[in-house]
């Protein structure tokens, strides 16, 4: 009996393959984008965990010199001989990567990568053979010098670990860069802070990459969920319709004695099988999407946050299993309503597919109320929004409120257009379009979500890019930049005769107001005074800066620490200066303070310039001259190259966002296509009387096509304000929380036009098929409508 | 004192850190070998012998507290060379390891420190005498005929600390033939001398507070490059002090081929010493206790018929487990039978 009943139920899909395609596509796309985003996030999180577990992660305090110069070896030995449990680290550079030298004999527990300690990697090699331990990614790249290496899976990319003796020999540095402090010191010793002139730096929660990049991943997750939602809209529509259209079959099966419970079970098994297949396909597509996007994401994370994420995607069976489960859960959500309806259906109820599609007036009212509630929620969250999660919740409320309101808006718009209709045919078209809104509403909602997200994201990215480009022009003051390797003073002497002005650029990394940051020293040059991107400044700010009486802070520091002009910032023990100006510093995840060069040299006498900014009237000549005195190519860059590079990094940063929003739009397009194709088949009874009254099939087809375009246009019109509100939230709430800077909102009507055309194209494609079929339908089929019992 | 803890690295390659020292290997290539013709030259021989692979400064003491309790104390500094070449700075391939143990009537505390040589964090000097790792030190107080005659001893763990002075009431004793101490039938040997006559006084810092203590201590100095035979799996080592003022050092090197090697040194109260020939002495394990998942013999019968010696040696505290990188048992014992006294027992390889 099971087989016969199942066969009867499944025969529906043979007759309506498009519905099956819709269902599978919906679930597949939902799973694919969601699982793709999850795969990217998981890969990044693994990289962060590796980075965080390095050197005991954020658990261990450090001892360092205030100017970050190496700690004299004798100071280290003196601390050990006084009984303190501190462990030396020499940090050097190799092939552009961080080379960390650890002392396994004194390292506190948890400092060495877990796989070294657990013996998966030969420990003997650590201290004995001078083996360099590298991440799998680095091992694949290889090192420039033929040094013995071994792989440690717990190391982040870009970090090389070796015994301190080995690193001392490779780098020529004997003094530790800093000391790690064991969390528990032996009892009976005076406090460590009083025992040394070194600076005791508390474990730094703010360097937690997970926290720093949280915004970025939340952003991706939000997109993943949005796509998942869009996919479920499609699946929900397909399942609901399939159940309705199978009422005659269900009725017959029940009438010949199939128990209800068995019927529900069979329908559930059918759905499960479809969801499983769609889920597996979705996982495969999701993996492909993630693998394609990951290099860009890794570049973004490296560029924006310095997070060491490799570009290779691992395959995690747990992830795949979870993704399939999500697909099944999605199918359950999408199908539960339909199954409940079957369970409650009277045995002999007639099939009413149109009625199902149209009997939505109660639902419409409920949706309207829900939309109002969601808008209100979005408003409340926005006014109070102080955290990223709240900001994203406001975004979600806004989007889904708009989606739920869409059918109401469309119906209202069509009603309002009623007086414009000329003639009976026009009135019929408007009325009939209104009747179609419920049937298409799920697909149109999906389109609205995708369009709004697209408008919002492109407005945000565009505003950011414009602001960033302008900022680059002002920030890159000098024509040529030279990196100082080795002896900066000697370099300055050599390049001084070549340029109009040589402006040293100095910087020291040091915590500012409790968070990681840096202090920069700036020479006094008219160009800086003219162009430096100040957001706000006190009168005479530049004079007080160079008189050493004040400092400037970047916007990140000002927003993060709630600083206003006139507040003081301590940049070194005993040196606190008032803030005279706040400047824009896009792309820097950390706080920064700017000091006049003289004051900088007094506060940080050990810090040497890391580079020079050169002014010149003839950039090519200067570049040639610098090359002629033997400076390596990679140590010299000119303003234009620097700008190009910065913009390239910028574009790469937002490529993922762009790709995801395009994919979501594509999903919505598919939803629309399937929605209208499904509806078209059921609309013959509406169209046939008009044909009988004398309308030509061609005119009816043109009307169908125009109607598809009109609905898309109305949806786009609704998406525009939603998208702009979305962009406003991104720029003013999410950006400030995630990056620490505010951006002006710039509108890009040309982008809207492109998007509107795209929406029209999608709708046109969706409407074309049904319209063509209508134009070519044999009159006999139209006549059949009248001969049928309906 | 016998071949000791560092050698466990060779015997038990599965120990987590053992591989760190496995560079030691089992052959002595490139390192100096013990020389039967060597005569101790003090103070130089109190200092390190970096051309030998391993070396230690090892002090054990049985102490009576002003609280009426008896305590056992251990202080050890090991030196292990990763290569026979000498260097300074981070390149020095000398590893130093400090062990401190404190046995109380109802428990045992352990502390361990590791450091590399070449930078001053750990090391030893002959004159003035000092052997140190971090803030743990054995320091000659100077002004005495021998640098070891008066020393100060400090160590600090997470739960305890101690600070003692020790004064020798007898001479330094060389073991074996003029300090050339044979360790197996195959001729493995070490240079080995002791100062078994310390009178100790000082302070223990325990979780419950400070305890003033006095008692007797025994210092061992030993260095070698290959002191164990390949079949030798562990050892049982005794340093006993008897009420008549005489002392005895005895050890048994256990072999997995059944060729246990048992020998020792008899020390009269005036410090004159006589080697106990291999096989003349019986060390028989009795009752075992379950310690750290192993069965450890905590009662022994020691017989030396030539001197009419028939002793029952009993651990004061069963659980004197040194939970260090290379774990072993080391704690104070009481001696009853033909002679009465106290001493220390070390057991490895269980």
Q: Which residues of B touch A164 (CB under 8 A)?
A: 90
Q: Do A168 and B22 touch (CB under 8 A)?
A: no
Cα angle value A728/A732/A734 (rounded, 5°) = 100
**Is the four-CA dihedral A608, A611, A616, A620 of positive or negative sign?**
positive
List chain A residues with CB under 8 Å of B154. none
Closest-approach residue (CA) in chain A for B206: A187
Residue range B101-115: mean pLDDT, rounded: 93
Cβ–Cβ under 8 Å, residues B286 and B345: no
CB A532 within 8 A of CB A475: yes
Average of per-residue pLDDT values in chain A: 80
- Please, what are the domains in chain B? 5-347 (2.40.370.10)
Size of interface A-B (CB pairs under 8 A): 71
> How wide is the angle at C-alpha A443 spanned by C-alphas A32 and A419, nearest 5°?
160
Beta carbons of A83 and B135 less than 8 Å apart: yes
* Å between B26 CA and nearest CA of chain A: 15
Query: For A165, which of B90, B115, B132 is closest by C-beta distance?
Result: B90
Interface contact B132-A81, CB threshold 8 A: yes
Separation CA A369–CA A398 (nearest Å): 14
Reply yes or no on whether the pLDDT at B3 is more than 50: no
Residues of A in contact with B161 (CB under 8 A): 186-188
In this predicted structure, which of A293-307, A608-622, B226-240 has the lowest mean pLDDT? A293-307
Give the chain B residue whose CA is nearest to the CA of A124. B20
Residues on B contacting A at a C-beta cutoff of 8 Å: 16-17, 19-20, 22-23, 82, 89-92, 95, 114-116, 119-121, 132, 134-135, 156-159, 161, 205
Mutate to test the interface with A, among B14, B77, B90 (most CBs of A within 10 A): B90
Give the C-alpha separation, A313 to A291, whole Å. Answer: 6
Closest in A76, A165, A188 to B205, CB measured = A188
**Rounded distance between C-alpha atoms, residue A355 and residue A365, angstroms:** 17
Nearest Cβ partner for B114 among A77, A105, A168: A105
Backbone torsions φ then ψ of A395, nearest 5 degrees = -60, -45
CB contact under 8 A, A127 and B161: no
pLDDT in tens, A77-96: 999 999 999 999 998 888 77
Which chain A residue lies closest to B123 (C-alpha atoms)?
Answer: A81
At residue B1, the pLDDT reads 29
B122-125 and B107-116 strand pairing: unpaired
Summarize pLDDT for A379-418 with one digit per residue, the tens: 888 887 577 778 878 888 888 899 889 988 888 888 888 8
How far is A693 from A702, CA to CA, in rounded Å? Answer: 17
Gap between the Cα atoms of A548 and A540, Å rounded: 13
- Contact between chains at A169 and B157 (C-beta distance less than 8 A): no
Confidence of residue A194 (pLDDT cuts 50, 70, 90): confident
B17, A126: Cβ pair inside 8 Å?
Answer: no
Among A73, A89, A105, A114, most B C-beta atoms within 10 A, so best to mutate, is: A105
Do B82 and A128 count as a contact with CB atoms less than 8 A apart? yes
* Closest CA relative to residue B341, chosen from B320, B317, B314, B319: B314
Contact criterion met (CB < 8 Å) for B20 and A123: yes
The minimum CA-CA distance between B289 and chain A, rounded to whole Å, is: 30
Q: Give pLDDT tens digits for B207-263.
A: 889 999 999 999 999 998 875 767 778 889 999 999 999 999 999 988 888 788 899
- Quick one: closest CA in B to A76, which residue? B121
- Closest chain B C-alpha to A118 CA, distance in angstroms: 8
CB contact under 8 A, A122 and B19: yes
Q: pLDDT at position B26, please?
A: 45
**Contact list, A168 vs chain B (CB under 8 Å):** 89-91
CA distances from A113 to A125, A345, B15, B19 (A): 14, 62, 18, 17
How many residues in chain A?
A: 790
Contact across the interface for A83 and B156, Cβ inside 8 Å = yes
Chain A residues inside the 8 Å CB shell of B157? 186
What pLDDT was estimated at residue A124? 53
Task: Report the residue of B23, B111, B112, B134 to disrupt the A interface, i.e. the one with the largest count of A CBs within 10 Å.
Answer: B134
State the best of A79, A116, A165 to mutate against chain B, taking most chain B CBs within 10 Å.
A165
CA distance A73 to chain B (A): 8
A62-73 pLDDT tens trace: 898 877 789 999
CA A377 from chain centre, in angstroms, equals 24
Contact B23 A128 (CB under 8 A): yes
User: What pLDDT, on the 0 to 100 scale, is given for residue A52?
Assistant: 62
DSSP assignment letter at A608: -
| Per-residue pLDDT tens over the stretch B162-218 | 999 999 999 999 999 999 998 877 778 899 999 999 999 999 999 889 999 999 999
Distance CA B341, CA B313 (A): 9
Nearest CA in chain B to A121: B19
- Residues from chain A contacting residue B82 (CB–CB below 8 Å): 127-128
A29, A293 contact by CB (below 8 A): no
CB contact under 8 A, A81 and B91: no
How far apart (Å, rounded) are the C-alpha atoms in residues A146 and A717?
A: 63
DSSP A568-605: EEEEETTEEEEEEEEE--TT--SEEEEEEHHHHHHH-T
User: Taking CA A234 as the corner, what is the angle to CA A338 and CA A762, rounded to the nearest 5 degrees?
Assistant: 150
- Highest mean pLDDT range out of A38-52, A107-121, A213-227? A38-52
Residue B121, min C-alpha distance to chain A (Å): 5
Show residues of chain A in contact with B163, CB under 8 Å. Answer: none
Mean pLDDT of B86-110: 89
Q: When comparing pLDDT for A484 and B80, which is higher?
A: B80
- CA nearest B157 in A: which residue? A186
Range name among B4-13, B157-166, B182-191 with the lowest pLDDT average = B4-13
> What is the pLDDT at residue A218?
66
Considering A105-119, A709-723, B219-233, the range whose residues carry the highest mean pLDDT is A709-723
Q: How far apart are CA A463 and CA A745, in angstroms?
A: 6
Mean pLDDT within B302-318: 95
Chain A residues within an 8 Å CB radius of B156: 83, 186, 188
Predicted pLDDT at B291:
92
Of B89, B116, B121, the CB nearest to A174: B89
Asked if residue B33 lies in contact with residue B225, where contact means CB atoms within 8 angstroms, the answer is yes
The β-bridge relationship of strands A149-151 and A132-134 is: parallel
Digit-coded pLDDT (tens) for A639-694: 888 788 777 767 766 776 777 777 777 777 777 777 777 667 667 778 888 888 88
Q: What is the model's pLDDT at position B92?
A: 82
A467-487 average pLDDT score = 79
3-state per-residue secondary structure call for A228-278: HHHHHHHHHHHHHHHHHHCHHHHHHHHHCCCCHHHHHHHHHHHHHHHHHHH
Q: Which residues of A touch B17 (CB under 8 A)?
A: 123
Q: Is the dihedral of CA A295, A298, A299, A300 positive or negative?
A: positive
Least confident of A349-358, A487-496, A661-670, B235-244: A349-358
Residue B21 pLDDT greater than 50, yes or no: no
Among candidates B19, B120, B132 on the partner chain, residue whose Cβ is nearest the Cβ of A124: B19
Domain residue spans in chain A? 1-59+218-351, 61-202, 361-391+398-473+649-790, 480-615
Task: Output the average pLDDT for chain B.
Answer: 87
Q: In this predicted structure, what is the pLDDT of residue A591?
A: 84
pLDDT in tens, B72-82: 999 999 998 87
pLDDT digits (tens, 9 = 90+) for A28-58: 877 888 888 888 877 777 777 766 666 655 5
Specify the pLDDT at position B13.
29
Please report, rounded to a whole number, the percentage of residues in chain A having pLDDT higher than 90: 8
Could you tell me the maximum CA-CA distance found in chain A, to the nearest angstrom?
105
pLDDT top residue among A139 and A355: A139
Contacts of B120 in chain A (CB under 8 A): 74, 77, 81
Would you say residue A212 has pLDDT above 60? no
Report chain A residues whose CB lies below 8 A from the CB of B204: none
- Residues B115, A106: C-beta atoms closer than 8 Å: yes
Q: Which residues of B touch A117 (CB under 8 A)?
A: 16
Residues of B in contact with A76 (CB under 8 A): 119, 121
Nearest CA in chain B to A122: B19
Average of per-residue pLDDT across A19-36: 81
């Amino acid at each position: 009996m099971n087989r016969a009943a199942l066969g009867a139920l499944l025969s529906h899909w043979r007759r309506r393959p498009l519905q099956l395609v819709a269902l599978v596509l919906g679930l597949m796309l939902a799973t694919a984008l969601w699982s793709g985003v999850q795969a990217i996030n998981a890969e990044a999180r693994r990289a962060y965990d590796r980075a965080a577990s390095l050197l005991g992660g954020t658990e261990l305090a450090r001892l360092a010199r205030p100017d970050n110069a190496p700690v004299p070896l004798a100071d280290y030995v003196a601390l050990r001989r006084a009984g303190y449990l501190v462990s030396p680290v020499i940090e050097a550079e190799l092939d552009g990567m961080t080379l960390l030298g650890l002392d396994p004999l004194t390292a506190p527990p948890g400092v060495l990568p877990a796989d070294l300690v657990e013996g998966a990697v030969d420990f003997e090699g650590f201290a004995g053979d001078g083996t360099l331990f590298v991440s799998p990614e680095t091992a694949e790249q290889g090192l420039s010098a033929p040094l013995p290496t071994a792989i440690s899976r717990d190391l982040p990319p870009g970090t090389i670990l070796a015994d301190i003796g080995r690193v001392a020999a490779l780098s020529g540095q004997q003094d530790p860069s800093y000391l790690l402090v064991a969390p528990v010191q032996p009892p009976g010793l005076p406090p460590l802070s009083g025992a040394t002139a070194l600076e005791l730096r508390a474990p730094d929660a703010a360097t937690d990459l997970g926290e720093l990049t949280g915004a970025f991943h939340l952003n991706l997750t939000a997109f993943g969920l949005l796509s998942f939602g869009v996919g479920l809209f499609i699946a929900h529509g397909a399942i609901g319709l399939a159940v309705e259209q199978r009422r005659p079959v269900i009725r017959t099966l029940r009438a010949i004695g199939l128990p209800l419970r068995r019927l529900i079970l069979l329908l559930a098994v059918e759905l499960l099988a479809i969801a499983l297949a769609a889920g597996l396909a979705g996982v495969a597509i999701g993996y492909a999407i993630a693998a394609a996007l990951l290099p860009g994401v890794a570049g973004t994370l490296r560029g924006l946050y310095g997070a060491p994420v490799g570009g290779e995607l691992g395959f995690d069976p747990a992830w795949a299993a979870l993704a399939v489960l999500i697909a099944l859960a999605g199918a359950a959500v999408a199908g539960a309503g339909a199954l409940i309806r079957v369970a409650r259906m009277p045995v002999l109820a007639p099939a009413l597919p149109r009625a199902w599609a149209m009997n939505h007036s109660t639902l419409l009212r409920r949706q309207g109320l829900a939309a109002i509630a969601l808008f209100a929620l979005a408003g409340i969250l926005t006014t109070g929004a102080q955290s990223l999660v709240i900001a994203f919740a406001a975004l979600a409320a806004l989007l889904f409120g708009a989606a739920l309101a869409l059918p109401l808006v469309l119906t209202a718009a069509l009603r309002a257009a009623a007086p414009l209709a000329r003639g009976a045919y026009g009135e019929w078209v408007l009325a009939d379009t209104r009747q179609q809104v419920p049937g298409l509403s799920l697909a149109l909602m999906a389109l609205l979500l995708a369009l709004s997200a697209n408008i919002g994201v492109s407005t945000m990215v565009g505003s950011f890019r414009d602001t960033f480009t302008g900022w680059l022009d002002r920030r890159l003051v000098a024509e040529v930049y030279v990196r100082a390797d080795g002896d900066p003073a000697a370099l300055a002497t050599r390049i001084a005769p070549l340029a109009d002005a040589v402006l040293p650029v100095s910087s020291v990394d040091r915590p500012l107001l409790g968070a990681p940051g840096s202090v920069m020293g700036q020479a006094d040059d008219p160009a800086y005074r003219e162009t430096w991107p100040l957001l706000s400044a006190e009168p005479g700010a530049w004079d007080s800066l160079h008189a050493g009486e004040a400092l400037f802070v970047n916007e990140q520091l000002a927003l993060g620490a709630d600083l206003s002009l006139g507040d003081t910032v301590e940049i070194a023990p005993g040196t606190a200066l008032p803030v005279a100006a706040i400047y824009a510093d896009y792309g820097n995840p950390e706080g920064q303070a700017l000091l006049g060069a003289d004051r900088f040299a007094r506060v940080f006498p050990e810090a040497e310039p890391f580079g020079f900014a050169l002014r010149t009237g003839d950039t090519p000549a200067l570049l040639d001259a610098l090359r002629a005195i033997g400076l390596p190519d990679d140590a010299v860059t000119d303003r234009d190259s620097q700008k190009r590079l910065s913009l390239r990094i910028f574009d790469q940063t937002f490529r993922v966002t762009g790709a995801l929003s395009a994919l979501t739009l594509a999903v919505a397009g598919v939803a629309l296509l399937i929605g209208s194709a499904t509806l078209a088949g059921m609309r013959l009874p509406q169209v046939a009387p008009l044909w009988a009254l004398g309308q030509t099939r061609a005119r009816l087809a043109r009307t169908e096509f125009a109607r598809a375009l009109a609905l898309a246009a109305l949806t786009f019109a609704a998406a525009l304000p939603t998208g702009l509100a979305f962009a406003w939230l991104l720029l003013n709430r999410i950006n400030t929380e995630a990056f620490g800077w505010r951006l002006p909102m710039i509108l890009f009507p040309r982008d809207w036009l492109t998007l509107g055309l795209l929406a029209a194209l999608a709708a046109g494609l969706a409407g074309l098929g049904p319209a063509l079929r209508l134009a070519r339908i044999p009159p006999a089929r139209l006549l059949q409508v009248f001969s049928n019992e309906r | 004192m016998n071949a000791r803890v560092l050698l466990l690295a060779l015997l038990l390659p599965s120990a987590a850190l053992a591989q760190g020292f496995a560079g030691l290997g089992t052959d002595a290539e490139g390192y100096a070998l013990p020389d039967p013709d060597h005569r101790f030259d003090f103070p130089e021989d109190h200092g390190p012998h970096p051309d030998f692979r391993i070396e230690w400064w090892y002090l054990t003491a049985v102490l009576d507290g002003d609280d009426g309790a008896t305590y056992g104390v251990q202080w050890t500094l090991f030196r292990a060379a990763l290569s026979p070449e000498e260097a300074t700075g981070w390149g020095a391939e000398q590893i130093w390891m400090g062990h401190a143990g404190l046995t109380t009537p109802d428990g045992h505390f352990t502390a361990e420190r590791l450091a590399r040589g070449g930078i001053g964090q750990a090391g030893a000097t002959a004159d003035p005498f000092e052997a140190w790792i971090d803030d743990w030190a054995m320091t000659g107080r100077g002004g005495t005929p021998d640098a070891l005659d008066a020393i100060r001893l400090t160590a600090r763990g997470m739960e305890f600390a101690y600070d003692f002075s020790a004064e020798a009431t007898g001479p330094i004793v060389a073991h074996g033939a003029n300090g050339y101490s044979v360790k197996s039938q195959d001729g493995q040997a070490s240079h080995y001398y002791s100062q078994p006559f310390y009178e100790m006084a000082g302070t223990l810092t325990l979780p419950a507070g400070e305890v003033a203590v006095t008692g007797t201590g025994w210092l061992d100095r030993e260095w070698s490059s290959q002191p164990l035979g390949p079949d030798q799996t562990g050892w049982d080592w005794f340093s006993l002090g008897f009420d008549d003022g005489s002392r005895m050092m005895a050890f048994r090197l256990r072999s997995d081929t059944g060729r246990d090697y048992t020998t020792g040194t008899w020390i009269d109260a005036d410090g004159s010493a006589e080697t106990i020939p291999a096989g003349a002495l019986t060390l028989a394990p009795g009752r075992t206790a379950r310690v750290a998942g192993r069965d450890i013999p905590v009662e022994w019968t020691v017989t030396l018929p030539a001197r009419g010696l028939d002793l029952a040696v009993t651990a004061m505290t069963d659980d004197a487990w040194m939970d260090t990188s290379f774990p072993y048992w080391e704690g104070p014992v009481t001696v009853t039978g033909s002679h009465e006294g106290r001493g220390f027992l070390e057991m490895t390889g269980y």
